[in-house]
Amino acid sequence: MAMLAAAFPGAADAAGAVVAPRGGPVAAGPGAANPLAPAGGGAPRASAAAGDGAALPANASTSGLAVALDAAGRHQYVFWRGSDGRIYEASYFRSWRGPVKTRWFSGFTPSAAVDAHGVLYLAWEGADGHVLEASFDDGGWHGPEDLTKTNRWRTKGRATSAVSLAVNARDGTQFLMWRGTDGRIHEAWRTRKWHGPRVLPWTLAGAPAVAVTRQGDQYVFWAGAGGDIEEAWYRGSWGGPVDLTGTYGWGEFGQTTTRLGVAVNPVDESQYVFWTAVDGRLYEAWYAQGWHGPVNMGWSTGSAPALAVTRASRQYVFWQGPDGGTWESWYDHGWRGPTAPLRRNRASGAEVEVTQTTADFSERLARLRSVSFAGRPPAGLPLITVDENQRYQSFAGVGGAMTDSSAWLIYDELSAPTGAALMSDLFGPVGAHYSFTMVPMGGSDFTRTGQPYTYDDVPASQSDPQLAQFSIAHDQPYILPALREMLAVNPQTTVMATPWTAPPWMKANGAYDDLGGAGVLNSSAFQPFADYFVRFLEAYAAQGVPIAAIAPENEPTSGAPFPAMDFPAASEAQWITQNLEPSLQAANLHPRLYGGDEGWGDPSYPSALLSSQAAGALAGVAWHCYGGLPTVMSDSHAQAPGAAQILTECSQGIEPYPVPEVLIGSLRNWASVVSLWNLALDPAGGPVQPPNYGCTGCTGEVTINESTQTVNFRLSYFQLGQVSAFVEPGATHVGSNSFVSYIQTSPDQHRASPGLDDVAFVNPDGTRVLVAYNNSPSPIRFGVAWNGRGFAYSLPAKATVTFSWKP
């Protein structure tokens, strides 16, 4: 899971948040062992799905590997030259597919890269040393094209090494480098057409390896005399070369016996280099304001390594082991693996990817060793049985609220790169991949200034029934830009809007609040309030933020001293049928309408709506997690099976259950959406309207310190990500047995019994996902059963784990 490149020490701060650092191992002296490498060094340890270690025959790598990531970082593509001379491919998206044999022959290892549009490019050295390239998009494979022949490169276009390919993720410019027949580096590049080849003045012993940044800066590495690692770079003109091994005193462990695996972070230009040293082990060095390393990774290799890195510094490194198998390790706040993803024991059954978050932050969406459905379900253990014949609701999304405070902190207070990176970590496919957000229509208790507002505020004693003063100008500086940026990151995000209050002139008390329940909507304002919704929906759509769902009022019986409005169920039902629905239809607006938006402790309100004349207009019922049990959503579903159940608010800091319990308990009780409250708050839990009557102790999913420009990710972010990063909108909730019950110990006290809670889904692409949470103070060992097969697993106390697999 990618995080901000600026954040992460691996320890919780005083508030329980974490800050994420640059990816990369801890610097060590030449030849020093990596403390995260397998104990004892030697050959890597296989995952539970790695089988008996027998190498694949014709498709086994004989020269090294090539790896590429898509723009989001979730798809991995791995290529190699097999022992039969053909190019083979495997790919990863939730599970490994392949290997697939191509019809193409290569003399050396191919090279791969993906552009910003998701087009995959593959380059290699073909017959007579010609440089060949093929591409893959939605239309399938295209080519290969003989670039040497087509562009009449003649002798300059003949390679005597593997070809290295890099693509500028910003503008799509391609760069190719190879060793020519003269022993020097040759380069060609394509903008609208191919240019070059240009002969660079440096001789090399092996193949060059090139990487490029979004700014178009190139970094090229190669093995020089005696295996020393050398580098040159292009920033408008060529600089270097520098003998890194000699200059930095890397010694014999800084000399490579293979082609180099290199990558550059496209955002901060951190450089990463992997190689096999004279001891047969894999080593890494990296540049971040100076060179660090080399570090002995402790893994024995039989080929050149291949490397790719995301903008958040997550590294993926592949290599061929001494036995010919393909191995992978990845850096995600610490090195993970290695595993042998392409060597599966055929008798072992489906491979299961394991991702875990622990309450002590030692593991945060950490990808662990795979397991597999390798035999009968284990006996003598609590057993979670995934039953796909039991099918429940469709999943719509997980997320949080883009309040005025959250939007201001994210969009206005952070630098543009940091804010964009955070938005990607929240909503992007390489991040938590949230797909739902709640937006207050006007002010809530969480606003930048701490002052309430609506979109039609007029002086006291005045009114505006024609909405002549209606304006969303307040939202223009940071709320709308933040929402547009969010939608650019994940266009499938559902945006729901709910008012905390109507404009004061529409209410009996003429105020923003609802103290004593006096802030009721005047009957004379029923139509203006419906028109207020229409104007809001039209204005937001015109600003590029379509609103997919609405609710008439947030907590309509709260009596709160901050923006709130009393809206009895009978009045709301009347307003929906006589005012809101006709107005929406006349304007050709069709948002999904949810009633309620009340706490679990007041199920009578949504029940009354579902029994009223407004029931036919409702898409479902919205809930908050306060004051009751999640089972009230199952009761609501039983009353109206066609009405969706969604949880639209649950604030960290005052939630009645731990976040994983809220998440799993809601999903097990028919919720299709689970959304927490503020996406982001400052270290003091604000900005908030003083004196903060409603949310003392509340936190955001991230904490933003605007003065230091740091972003701290709360535990809830990782816990939500255990679902949102794996379960796709449109997934179906399927059967699985749980081992907890929800208990009301007093009118205001609720808890879940100690034990193992879980929920299972089948994604639209067929991926199965099981999420389990151990809410007890001790580890629990349990079994998982699916299709008559199973595996055992031990889950630490208070930890959440996600298992995902594909049949």
Q: What is the pLDDT of residues 682-698, one digit of tens each?
A: 999 999 999 988 899 99
Contacts of 585 (CB under 8 A, 6+ apart): none
* Residues counted in the chain: 807
Pairing of strands 680-681, 702-705: parallel
**Averaged pLDDT of the chain:** 87
**Residue 63's pLDDT is what?**
62
Collapse the DSSP code of 515 into the 3-class scheme (helix H, G, I; strand E, B; otherwise coil) and give the result: helix
Q: Does the pLDDT value for residue 11 go beyond 70?
A: no
**Residue 341's pLDDT is what?**
62
Lowest mean pLDDT among 295-309, 586-600, 617-631, 638-652: 295-309
- What's the rounded mean pLDDT across residues 329-335? 79
Q: Does the pLDDT value for residue 552 go beyond 90?
A: yes
Instruction: Give ranges for CATH 2.60.40.1180 in the chain.
Output: 350-395+727-807
759 vs 67, residue with greater confidence = 759
Q: Does the pLDDT value for residue 659 go beyond 70?
A: yes
**Residue 349's pLDDT is what?**
54
Percent of the chain's residues with pLDDT above 70: 89
Phi/psi at 453 (nearest 5 deg)? -160, 160
Q: What is the pLDDT of residues 711-734, one digit of tens each?
A: 999 999 999 999 999 999 999 999
**Residue 2's pLDDT is what?**
31
Report which of 376, 261, 489, 332 is spatially closest to residue 783, judged by C-alpha positions.
376
Instruction: Give ranges for CATH 3.20.20.80 in the chain.
Output: 400-691
Percent of the chain's residues with pLDDT above 90: 63
Report which of 162, 178, 289, 268 is spatially closest to residue 217, judged by C-alpha positions.
268
Q: What is the pLDDT of residues 615-627, one digit of tens each?
A: 999 999 999 999 9
- What's the rounded mean pLDDT across residues 331-347? 64
Alpha helices in 151-250 (DSSP H): 244-247
Interhelix angle 715-724/659-668, rounded to 10 degrees, is: 30
**Residue 608's pLDDT is what?**
98
Radius of gyration for the alpha carbons in the chain, expressed in angstroms and rounded: 29
- What's the rounded mean pLDDT across residues 652-674? 95
Tell me the pLDDT band of 703, cut-offs 50, 70 and 90. very high
Are 619 and 394 in contact by the 8 Å Cβ rule? The answer is no
**Residue 206's pLDDT is what?**
83
Q: Does the pLDDT value for residue 512 go beyond 60?
A: yes
**Residue 75's pLDDT is what?**
80
Report which of 206, 195, 199 is spatially closest to residue 228, judged by C-alpha positions.
206
**Residue 8's pLDDT is what?**
23
Q: Does the pLDDT value for residue 439 go beyond 50?
A: yes
- The enclosing H or E element of 396 equals none
Listed ranges 99-103, 211-215, 565-569; the one with the highest mean pLDDT: 565-569
Lowest mean pLDDT among 91-105, 224-238, 539-553, 634-648: 91-105
Domain spanning 22-348: CATH superfamily: Fucose-specific lectin (2.120.10.70)
What single DSSP character describes residue 32?
Answer: P
Q: What is the pLDDT of residues 376-394, one digit of tens each?
A: 999 999 999 999 999 999 9
Q: What is the pLDDT of residues 351-381, one digit of tens each?
A: 898 999 999 988 888 878 788 898 899 999 9
Listed ranges 185-199, 513-527, 743-757; the one with the highest mean pLDDT: 513-527
> What is the amino acid identity at position 10?
G
**Residue 312's pLDDT is what?**
67
- What's the rounded mean pLDDT across residues 765-777? 96
Token pair in block for residue 61: 């790598």
Lowest mean pLDDT among 22-31, 426-435, 530-539: 22-31
Q: Does the pLDDT value for residue 346 go beyond 60?
A: no
- What's the rounded mean pLDDT across residues 231-258? 91
Q: Does the pLDDT value for residue 12 go beyond 60?
A: no
Can you tell me the distance from the alpha carbon of 781 to that of 381, in angstroms, rounded to the nearest whole number? 7
Contacts of 347 (CB under 8 A, 6+ apart): 374
Pairing of strands 291-300, 680-681: unpaired
Lowest mean pLDDT among 304-318, 331-345, 502-516: 331-345
74 vs 685, residue with greater confidence = 685
Q: What is the pLDDT of residues 95-141, one digit of tens each?
A: 777 788 888 988 888 999 988 778 899 999 987 899 999 998 877 88
Instruction: Give ranges for CATH 2.120.10.70 in the chain.
Output: 22-348
Going 594 to 596 to 599 to 604, the CA torsion angle's sign is: negative
Phi/psi at 493 (nearest 5 deg)? -65, 130
Lowest mean pLDDT among 161-175, 452-466, 587-601, 768-782: 161-175
**Assigned architecture for domain 400-691:** Alpha-Beta Barrel (3.20)
Q: What is the pLDDT of residues 399-410, one digit of tens each?
A: 999 999 999 999
Are 728 and 765 in contact by the 8 Å Cβ rule? The answer is yes
Can you tell me the distance from the alpha carbon of 264 to that of 307, in angstroms, rounded to the nearest whole number? 10
**CA distances from residue 669 to 50, 383, 629 in whole angstroms, order as listed:** 37, 20, 10
Q: Does the pLDDT value for residue 343 go beyond 90?
A: no
Q: Does the pLDDT value for residue 781 go beyond 70?
A: yes
**Residue 342's pLDDT is what?**
59
Q: Does the pLDDT value for residue 57 go beyond 60?
A: no
**CA distances from residue 132 to 106, 123, 186, 354 in whole angstroms, order as listed:** 9, 6, 15, 38
**CA distances from residue 613 to 572, 646, 740 in whole angstroms, order as listed:** 10, 21, 37
126 vs 63, residue with greater confidence = 126
Q: Is the pTM of the predicted complex or chain greater than 0.85?
A: no
Long-range contacts at 40-43 (CB < 8 A, ≥ 24 apart): 41/281, 41/296, 41/298, 41/299, 41/300, 42/298, 42/300, 43/299, 43/300, 43/321, 43/322, 43/323
**Residue 4's pLDDT is what?**
29
Can you tell me the distance from the alpha carbon of 266 to that of 1, in angstroms, rounded to the nearest whole number? 17
Q: Could you tell me the fold of the domain covering 350-395+727-807? A: Immunoglobulin-like (2.60.40)
Backbone conformation region of residue 257, classed left if phi is above 0, alpha if psi is from -120 to 50, else beta: alpha
Tell me the pLDDT band of 188, cut-offs 50, 70 and 90. very high
What single DSSP character describes residue 375?
Answer: B
**Residue 750's pLDDT is what?**
84
